[in-house]
Amino acid sequence: MKTDLAERIRTLSADQWEATVAYRRHLHRYPELSFQEHQTVRYVAERLTEMGIPFQAGVGGTGLLGWIEGRDPGSSVVALRADMDALPIQERNEVPYRSEHAGVMHACGHDAHTASLLGAARILHQLRDEFSGTVKLIFQPGEEKFPGGATLMIADGVLQNPTPKSVLGQHVHPPLVSGKVGFRSGAYMAAADELYFTVIGRGGHAAYPHLVIDPVLMAAKLVINLQRVVSRFARPDQPAVLSIGRVIADGATNVIPDRVHVAGTFRSFDAELRERSHEEIRRIARGTAEMFGGQIEVDIKVGYPPLVNHPALTARTRALACAYLGDDHVVDLDISLGAEDFAYYSQVSDACFYRLGTGNPDRGITAPIHTPTFDIDENALDTGQGLMAWLALGELEHKR
């Protein structure tokens, strides 16, 4: 691509950076949980209307699809995706744009994703007479909650009429400093399954444990026994993790309850290991229950598949990022046991999911995602919107 186009995009991005910051701050102040993004999508629709960009609302429920047509719109099609939902976390940041919705926070940067895509759309719309093809804008709900908004938008035809040859998405990454981006080809993020256990015993007075079947002790043993799924069942060269994040034993200091509820996650990359591990989890639960004379009900909700970045597309986008940002601002990423419903796009289209650096240690912006003090260096929005526009135009030019 022409170097003068890169410079034009940099200039347009810098000129509208403050507007994009305002988008992000508004979204951050008014976060909405998965599949409840009614105000959010209304705000996106208002901004696209101001820009003169056509769109269709109600795609996948609370999702929205916009499009920007250049010359010869059917010659090439690329899709850009941003997720819009927030998390059930109470924000602890003392900033002017702090969440005004109690117990709800953009702690995973989806406000930055949506703002960046709005900014990229604005740039692309201004350049529409200078490129050929169509850019589809996917504003997606419900990434944080099964079954994932991507499945609903795909079912609603977001990748049809016209069909994009590739889908690009970006995600904030606080360990990477603002101004840098990261890529990984091939398998990048894990499949994620939710584990739910109901541990059933016979409760009673805590002073007479010989008269009860203690589900609390049974649950504690279950949590320990489950660790062998990764440490002794999976091969050492197979990345996997099993973590328990919720244990509810609704008794008291002198009351042993009848039931304990345990919930967690299992993550892996290998399909065979995934299936066999589900069987092993159930076997461990049965054995633990038999040991105590109780019961353990197991519910495994099969979640997102592994996210696989298309090798050739990733190589192209990485090279384009180097041309736009400079080689020293582009890094290679390790695999991640995190999960993303962007994986569903990668199952039906060439796809590339990359990371946008948002950290700034000098300013104390280092908190991880999914924490109540997460924030971003907003200078990253300049990188995010400009690079998205640049990558979209580069991919439109690519001939298969």
In tens, the pLDDT along 3-13 reads 799 999 999 99
- The answer on pLDDT for 400 being more than 80 is no
Catalytic residue (choose from 32, 83, 85, 378): 85
CATH level 2 (architecture), domain 3-188+306-397: 3-Layer(aba) Sandwich (3.40)
Q: What is the pLDDT of residue 399?
A: 79
Known active-site residue 85: yes
Enumerate the β-bridge partners of residue 187.
308
Report how far residue 357's alpha carbon sits from residue 343's, in angstroms, rounded to the nearest whole number: 21
pLDDT in tens, 276-305: 999 999 999 999 999 999 999 999 999 999
130-177 residue pLDDT tens: 999 999 999 999 999 999 999 999 999 999 999 999 999 999 999 999
Flag whether pLDDT at 1 surpasses 80.
no
Alpha carbons 199 and 297: distance in angstroms, whole number: 7
Active site residue 382: no
User: How wide is the angle at C-alpha 148 spanned by C-alphas 162 and 335, nearest 5°?
Assistant: 95
Q: Considering the entire predicted model, what is its pTM?
A: 0.94
Distances (CA, A) of 383 to 181, 199, 222, 367: 9, 49, 46, 20
* Residue 381 to residue 282: CA distance in whole angstroms: 45
**How far apart are the C-alpha atoms of 88 and 83, rounded to whole Å?**
16
Distance CA(111)–CA(106), nearest Å, equals 6
Asked whether the predicted pLDDT for residue 21 surpasses 80, the reply is: yes
Q: What does residue 94 show for φ and ψ, rounded to 5 degrees?
A: -105, 85
Determine what percent of the chain is predicted with pLDDT higher than 70: 99
CA nearest 355: which of 168, 162, 139, 88?
A: 168
Of residues 143, 214, 341, 350, which has the active-site annotation?
A: 143
Whether the ω angle into residue 305 lies within 30 degrees of 0, i.e. cis, is no
* Structure-block tokens of residue 92: 């602890």
pLDDT score recorded for residue 201: 98
Q: What is the pLDDT of residue 74?
A: 94
Q: With contact defined as beta carbons under 8 Å apart, do 292 and 199 qualify? A: no
What are the extents of the domains in the chain?
3-188+306-397, 191-301
Token couple for 182: 């990261």
CATH 3.30.70.360, applies to 191-301: yes
Residue 183, pLDDT score: 98
Tokens standing for residue 228: 């062998």
- Ramachandran sector of residue 104 (left: φ over 0; alpha: ψ -120 to 50; beta: rest): beta
Q: What percent of the chain clears pLDDT 90, i.e. is strictly above it?
A: 98
Give yes or no for residue 2 having a pLDDT over 80.
no
